[in-house]
């Protein structure tokens, strides 16, 4: 019996850099991962869902599945969430799963799966006390962060490599 490939969920939120998530897909696939892209509702505005579905072989899902239906995505072995807005960051740390990506982040973090996050926000937003606390709590709970400066491109390879640390 063939071994199941590792599954990576690429979660993207509504920030610049999300449109380049296909780069992560290609890098991860070359590294032996199956990849599923799960954008936040605002993240869908930044990406080409049809092209990503063709690239991954899986539908791009941004909403919860219908009750009683099978999940079209395999369960994840790891997650990269990038770009990560402070809105999603703060809700995630508070355990709020009101969107599919947030529910998946809460669940995978709670399960202890490898999660790498690349916050993408203005420096002042990252200094807001609730966001500072959220970053600290998530790091304490095992989330690995790749920090970038305002305006930098998402470092997809660095994020992917951080899964193995």
Q: Which domain holds residue 103?
A: 6-65+74-162
For the whole model, what pTM was predicted?
0.95
pLDDT-based confidence at residue 150 (cuts at 50, 70, 90): confident
pLDDT at 157: 97
Indicate the number of domains in the chain: 1
Would residue 119 count as lying in a domain? yes
Residue 82 in this model has a pLDDT that exceeds 60: yes
Domain assignment present for 129: yes
Instruction: Please write the tens of the pLDDT for every residue from 46-64.
Output: 999 999 999 999 999 999 9
**Overall average pLDDT of the 128-151 stretch:** 95
Here the tokens at position 156 are 């997809």
């Amino acid at each position: 019996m063939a071994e199941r490939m590792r599954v990576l969920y690429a979660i993207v939120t509504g920030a610049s850099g999300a449109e380049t998530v296909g780069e992560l897909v290609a890098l991860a696939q070359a590294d032996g991962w199956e990849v599923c892209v799960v954008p936040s509702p605002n993240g869908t505005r930044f990406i080409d869902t049809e092209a990503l579905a063709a690239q991954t072989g899986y539908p791009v899902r941004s909403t919860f599945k219908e009750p009683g239906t099978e999940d079209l995505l395999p369960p994840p072995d790891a997650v990269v969430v990038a770009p990560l807005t402070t809105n999603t960051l703060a809700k995630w740390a508070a355990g709020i799963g009101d969107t599919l990506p947030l529910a998946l982040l809460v669940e995978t973090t709670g399960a202890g799966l490898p999660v790498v996050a690349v916050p993408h926000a203005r420096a002042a937003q990252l200094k807001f006390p609730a966001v500072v606390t959220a970053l600290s709590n998530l790091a304490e709970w095992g989330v690995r962060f790749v920090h970038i400066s305002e305006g930098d491109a998402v470092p997809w390879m660095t994020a992917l490599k951080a899964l193995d640390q």
